[in-house]
C-alpha cells in the first residue's frame, strides 16, 4: 500500500487529538494508523482510533433539517424553510422576553470546536448572554483555582518529570497529554523516576505505579490534606521558592500545620506510612508534574480538591522549569478561569469561565421566575444524556418554548428539539480542537495546533456549522449585503487589503464585531477555495494569537510584523496536515504569565472548608451503602461521540464493575444481572467482577445508554444511561460541579 493512499487527519475521540493517517474505502474509514510526522503525537495512536468509522457512518446520521409536527413526530423540511423559521422563532423569543432568555449549550465536542466560534455570532446576534457546556461539569472549579493561584492555567511536563502524579486520573485510558502510554511506560521502567497514583480503583495506570494511594471514594480531600500536612510538619516545603515566588502563605500553612495526618489517613483508607513516603518522594524530586481529573473534580469537595492538588506542586517549587508545571500559550483563551461578575438569572449561581453550572440548568427553566430561560440552542453536545438527572433535564427541555439542536446525529437532546439542523461530520469539513497540545525539551516549552482538512465530501443535506450560522445570522438581520459588499471586493485584492477594509467597515458598523466569525466565513472564506470556508474563523484566531504572543511565535520560526505575523501563522496552519508548532518559550516565560509573577497561595473562600475537614467523618448511608462512579473511562468508551454500540465488542452492554466480595454477599456471579438503585432512579445492568474495585465501590462506563437503531431500523437503548441515576442537587457548593463519581447507591441481585 503506497503512502499516497493515506490521508493525514487527527483522531477526535479525546481532547489530545493525536495525528493519524486514514485509508478510505469509498465513504468508509477502512484503516487507521498513527501519523509519524505529526508534530505532537509522533506516530502514537491508541486502539480507539481504529474504530472511527463507527462515528463517520453511524446509522443515526442526520441528512435533512427536521421540524417537529404537532403530534410530536418529525418531518423533513428544506434548509431555506428551517433557517427562516428558526430565525423567526428565536427573534420572537428575543423580542418578547429579551436575548438573555435564550440559552446556549455547546461549543463543540472533543475535536469539534470551530462550531463554537461560529455559534458565538448567532448568540450575539440574538443578544444571548448565558451559556454552558460539558466543561461546566468538569473543569470550572479547577479553572477558578488556577485563576486565583496563578492567573493562568498550568500543565505538566510528564515526559521529563522525575515524578508524575495522577489524582483521580487514569491516563492509560483517558490520556490527557500526548503519547500518554509510552510516557507512562518510560517512567515506570526508570528506577530514578516515580509514578504516583491517587485513585480508589486499581487502574491500568495504578498497576504501573511505584505508589498507589488507594483512597476510599470521596475522601481525596483528606488524603491530599495529609500529604500537605506532612510537607509542612516535616518541613519539606521549598522555603527559598516560597520566599521568592509566593505571597499569602501564612493562612494555608497554619491550617496544614494543624492537620492530624494519621487521622486523615485513616479516614481516607490509606496507611500513614504510604502517605509519608509519597510526600517525601515528591519533596525530594528535582521535578514534579501533577494531573488532576474527573475522579476528584466530580466528587466530594471538588473545588477544594483542585486547590489542594495545586498546592502539592506550588509549595514544593515545581513551577517554571523542565519536568514541572508550566504555562503555555492558548490559541483562543477560551478556557479562562475567572469568576464572572454575572450570576445565573434565576438562582444566582456562580458563573465561572463564562459557564453556568450544568447541574442548575433545569432550575433556571422549571420555574415561573420572569427571567427564566425560554429557548435553547444546543450545538454538538447532548445535555439530555450528559447532565445529571436526565429525566429532569428532559422535562426542562420540554418546558422551553423553543429548542434547536445542531448536530451530526439524532441524539437524545435532538429528540426533544423543535428543529434539528444536520451538521457535516468532523471528517467532512475543516475542524480543530482548542485543547492545547504541549511538549517540552530540556530548555523550552512548546505548544502545537492541528487544523484538520476534510477527507470526505459532506453527506448531501448537511452543512458545516459555519454555513449554518452564516445563514442564521443573515436571517436574523444582523448581517446584510451592504455590510459584506466592500469586504468581498477587498478580499479579491489580497489579505492585506482585506484586513484594512475589515477594520474600516467594523469601525463604521460596530454591530458587525458581534458577528465577526460569520463575517469572516462569508467574505474571507471564499478566497480559501470552495469547501474551505469553515477554516475562515481560524484566520481571526491566528491574528489574535500573533498580537498576544509575538515573541513565542517568532521563537517557533515565524517572521513578520503585525498582520504579516498573523498571516504567516494562518498559512502554516492551513497548509500543514501534521500540525504546527505555534509557540516556543523558555521556562522563565511561565513567570511572565503568572499574575504579578507571584503565586497567591491563599484562596479565602476555600480555607474554611479546608479547616472544616477536621469535623467531617466519612460515613455510609445504610439505605445506599455503595458508591457508584457514573461514567468510568474504559478502552471501549468515548463519551457519546460514537453512538453505535457495535464499536464495543468486548463490553457491549457497558457492564457494572463490582468487587468479588460484594458480589458474593449479594449472591451474584460475573455475567449476572443486578439492579442499581439511587435516590433518583433505578436501572438494571450486567455485572463484571474485578478486584480493581474496592469493596463498596461500583462503576458504570461513560458513553452507554444511547438510543440507536438495530439492523431492522428499530431503536433500542443499549446499556445504562448513567445520568438517569444521578442527581442535580448533588454538586459542589462553590463551582456546581456534579458528583458523578460519588453517587450513593443500593445494589440488588436480579433473579
Whole-number Å distance between alpha carbons of 313 and 294: 19
Whole-number Å distance between alpha carbons of 83 and 340: 33
Query: Each residue of 614-647: pLDDT tens digit?
Result: 999 999 899 999 999 999 988 888 888 999 999 9
Phi-psi region of 661 (alpha: psi -120 to 50; beta: other; left: phi over 0): alpha
Burial of 35 (0-12, 13-18, 19+ CB in 10 A): buried
Q: Are 138 and 267 in contact (CB under 8 A)?
A: no
Q: What is the DSSP string of 96-154?
A: HH-GGGEEEEES-STT--HHHHHHHHHHHHHT---EE-GGGGTTHHHHHHHHHHTSS--
Q: Cβ neighbours of residue 314 under 8 Å, at least 6 residues apart?
A: 149, 246, 599, 601
- pLDDT of residue 609 exceeding 90, the answer is yes
Q: What is the DSSP string of 420-440?
A: EEEBPPTTSS-EE--S-EEEE
Query: Each residue of 259-314: pLDDT tens digit?
Result: 999 999 999 999 999 999 999 999 999 999 999 999 999 999 999 999 999 999 99
Q: Are 747 and 151 in contact (CB under 8 A)?
A: no
Query: Each residue of 194-206: pLDDT tens digit?
Result: 999 999 999 999 9
Q: CA angle at residue 557 from 552 to 563, to 5 degrees?
A: 70
Domains and CATH numbers, the chain: 1-57 (2.20.25.90), 66-132+356-422 (3.40.50.740), 140-326+598-612 (3.40.228.10), 429-591 (no CATH), 619-749 (2.40.40.20)
Residue 75, H or E segment = strand 74-76
Q: What is the mean pLDDT of the chain?
A: 95
Work out the average pLDDT over 677-688: 97
Query: How much of the chain is helix, strand and coil, in % rounded to 5?
Result: 40, 20, 40
- pLDDT at position 747 is 98
Q: pLDDT confidence of 690, banded at 50, 70, 90?
A: very high
Query: Each residue of 302-315: pLDDT tens digit?
Result: 999 999 999 999 99
The SS3 of residue 571 is helix
Q: pLDDT confidence of 598, banded at 50, 70, 90?
A: very high
Query: Each residue of 132-152: pLDDT tens digit?
Result: 999 999 999 999 999 999 999
The SS3 of residue 466 is helix
Query: Each residue of 421-438: pLDDT tens digit?
Result: 999 999 999 999 988 778
Residue 522, H or E segment = helix 516-523
- pLDDT of residue 717 exceeding 60, the answer is yes
Question: What letter would DSSP give residue 638?
Answer: B
Burial of 727 (0-12, 13-18, 19+ CB in 10 A): buried
Whole-number Å distance between alpha carbons of 449 and 545: 12
Alpha carbon separation from 488 to 480, 482, 492, 495 (Å, rounded): 12, 11, 7, 11
Whole-number Å distance between alpha carbons of 235 and 260: 15
**pTM of this structure:** 0.96
Q: Are 131 and 355 in contact (CB under 8 A)?
A: yes
Q: Are 281 and 631 in contact (CB under 8 A)?
A: no
What is the percent of the chain where pLDDT is above 90?
A: 90
- Rounded to a whole number of angstroms, the distance between the first and last alpha carbons of the chain is 53
Q: Kindly report the number of other CB atoms within 10 A of residue 449's CB atom.
A: 29
Amino acid at each position: 500500500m503506497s503512502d499516497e493512499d493515506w490521508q493525514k487527519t487527527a483522531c477526535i475521540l479525546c481532547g489530545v487529538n493525536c495525528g493519524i493517517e486514514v485509508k478510505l474505502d469509498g465513504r468508509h474509514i477502512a484503516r487507521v494508523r498513527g501519523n509519524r510526522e505529526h508534530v505532537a503525537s509522533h506516530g502514537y495512536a491508541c486502539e480507539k482510533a481504529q474504530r472511527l468509522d463507527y462515528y463517520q457512518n453511524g446509522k443515526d446520521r442526520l441528512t435533512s433539517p427536521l421540524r417537529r409536527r404537532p403530534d410530536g413526530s418529525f418531518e423533513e423540511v428544506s434548509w431555506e424553510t428551517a433557517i427562516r423559521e428558526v430565525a423567526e422563532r428565536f427573534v420572537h423569543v428575543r423580542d418578547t422576553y429579551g436575548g438573555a432568555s435564550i440559552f446556549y449549550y455547546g461549543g463543540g465536542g472533543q475535536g469539534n470546536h470551530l462550531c463554537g466560534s461560529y455559534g458565538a455570532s448567532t448568540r450575539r446576534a440574538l443578544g444571548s448572554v448565558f451559556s454552558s457546556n460539558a466543561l461546566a461539569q468538569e473543569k470550572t472549579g479547577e479553572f477558578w483555582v488556577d485563576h486565583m493561584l496563578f492567573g493562568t492555567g498550568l500543565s505538566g511536563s510528564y515526559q521529563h518529570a522525575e515524578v508524575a502524579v495522577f489524582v483521580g486520573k487514569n491516563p492509560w485510558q483517558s490520556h490527557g497529554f500526548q503519547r500518554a502510554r509510552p510516557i507512562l511506560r518510560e517512567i515506570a521502567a526508570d528506577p530514578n523516576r516515580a509514578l504516583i497514583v491517587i485513585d480508589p480503583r486499581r487502574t491500568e495506570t495504578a498497576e504501573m505505579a511505584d505508589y498507589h494511594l488507594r483512597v476510599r471514594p470521596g475522601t481525596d480531600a483528606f488524603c491530599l490534606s495529609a500529604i500537605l500536612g506532612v510537607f509542612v510538619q516535616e518541613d519539606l516545603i521549598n522555603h527559598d521558592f516560597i520566599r521568592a515566588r509566593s505571597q499569602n502563605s501564612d493562612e494555608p500553612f497554619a491550617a496544614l500545620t494543624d492537620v492530624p495526618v494519621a487521622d486523615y489517613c485513616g479516614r481516607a483508607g490509606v496507611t500513614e506510612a504510604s502517605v509519608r513516603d509519597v510526600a517525601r518522594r515528591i519533596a525530594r524530586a528535582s521535578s514534579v508534574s501533577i494531573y488532576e481529573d474527573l475522579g476528584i473534580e466530580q466528587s466530594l469537595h471538588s473545588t477544594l480538591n483542585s486547590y489542594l492538588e495545586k498546592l502539592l506542586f506550588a509549595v514544593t517549587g515545581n513551577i517554571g522549569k523542565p519536568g514541572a508545571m508550566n504555562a503555555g500559550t492558548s490559541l483562543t483563551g477560551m478556557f479562562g478561569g475567572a469568576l464572572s461578575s454575572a450570576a445565573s438569572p434565576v438562582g444566582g449561581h456562580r458563573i465561572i469561565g463564562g459557564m453556568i453550572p450544568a447541574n442548575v440548568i433545569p432550575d433556571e427553566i422549571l420555574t415561573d421566575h420572569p427571567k427564566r430561560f425560554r429557548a435553547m440552542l444546543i450545538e454538538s453536545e447532548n445535555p439530555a444524556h450528559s447532565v445529571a438527572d436526565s429525566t429532569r433535564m428532559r422535562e426542562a427541555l420540554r418546558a422551553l418554548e423553543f429548542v434547536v439542536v445542531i448536530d451530526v446525529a439524532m441524539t437524545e437532546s435532538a429528540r426533544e428539539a423543535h428543529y434539528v439542523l444536520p451538521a457535516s461530520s468532523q471528517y467532512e469539513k475543516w475542524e480543530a480542537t482548542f485543547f492545547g497540545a504541549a511538549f517540552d525539551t530540556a530548555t523550552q516549552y512548546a505548544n502545537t495546533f492541528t487544523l484538520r482538512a476534510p477527507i470526505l465530501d459532506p453527506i448531501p443535506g448537511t452543512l458545516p456549522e459555519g454555513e449554518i450560522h452564516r445563514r442564521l445570522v443573515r436571517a436574523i438581520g444582523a448581517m446584510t449585503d451592504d455590510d459584506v459588499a466592500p469586504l468581498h471586493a477587498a478580499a479579491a485584492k489580497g489579505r492585506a487589503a482585506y484586513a484594512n477594509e475589515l477594520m474600516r467597515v467594523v469601525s463604521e458598523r460596530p454591530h458587525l464585531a458581534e458577528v465577526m466569525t460569520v463575517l469572516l466565513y462569508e467574505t474571507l472564506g471564499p478566497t480559501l477555495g470552495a469547501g474551505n470556508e469553515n477554516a475562515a474563523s481560524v484566520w481571526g484566531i491566528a491574528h489574535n494569537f500573533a498580537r498576544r504572543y509575538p515573541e513565542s511565535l517568532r521563537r517557533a520560526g515565524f517572521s513578520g510584523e503585525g498582520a504579516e505575523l498573523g498571516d504567516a501563522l494562518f498559512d502554516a496552519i492551513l497548509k500543514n496536515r501534521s500540525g504546527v508548532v505555534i509557540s516556543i518559550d523558555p521556562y522563565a516565560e511561565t513567570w511572565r504569565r503568572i499574575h504579578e509573577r507571584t503565586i497567591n497561595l491563599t484562596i479565602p473562600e476555600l480555607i474554611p472548608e479546608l479547616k472544616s475537614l477536621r469535623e467531617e467523618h466519612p460515613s455510609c448511608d445504610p439505605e445506599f451503602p455503595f458508591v457508584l462512579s457514573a461514567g468510568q473511562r474504559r478502552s471501549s468508551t468515548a463519551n457519546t461521540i460514537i453512538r453505535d454500540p457495535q464499536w464495543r465488542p468486548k463490553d457491549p452492554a457497558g457492564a457494572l464493575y463490582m468487587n468479588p466480595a460484594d458480589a458474593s454477599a449479594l449472591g451474584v456471579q460475573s455475567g449476572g444481572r443486578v439492579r442499581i438503585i439511587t435516590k433518583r432512579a433505578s436501572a438494571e445492568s450486567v455485572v463484571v467482577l474485578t478486584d480493581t474495585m474496592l469493596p463498596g465501590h461500583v462503576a458504570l462506563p461513560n458513553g452507554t445508554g444511547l438510543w440507536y437503531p438495530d439492523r431492522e431500523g428499530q431503536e433500542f437503548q443499549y446499556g445504562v444511561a448513567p445520568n438517569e441515576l444521578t442527581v442535580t442537587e448533588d454538586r459542589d457548593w462553590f463551582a456546581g460541579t456534579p458528583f458523578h463519581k460519588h453517587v450513593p447507591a443500593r445494589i440488588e441481585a436480579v433473579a
